[in-house]
Amino acid sequence: MAQLTVGKLSEDVVNALKRRAAANGRSVEAEHRAILRETLLGTDENFTARAAALRRRLRSSVDSSVVIRADRDSTA
């Protein structure tokens, strides 16, 4: 397996990585690997969860058909 060294990280990033590793019961190195694997390779489950979260966040209470009709009526 290849090795990767990441330098010039701020203390904030390092501390956040340590906290996340502790919360997940992993070493900092294992957490770093997990983050890279999830971010770069992803999984269908991970993608599905992120897509659902994005849909919830972007959900609008505006009925687009009303907006489109108003625009059409104003230009006619």
* H or E element at residue 64: helix 64-75
Q: How far is Cα 66 from Cα 33, in angstroms, rounded to an integer? A: 48
> What pLDDT is stored for residue 59 in this prediction?
86
Q: How far is Cα 45 from Cα 29, in angstroms, rounded to an integer? A: 23
> What pLDDT is stored for residue 76 in this prediction?
65
* Sequential pLDDT tens for the chain (76 residues): 899 999 999 999 999 999 999 999 999 999 999 999 888 887 777 788 888 999 998 888 888 898 899 999 997 6
pTM of this prediction? Answer: 0.56
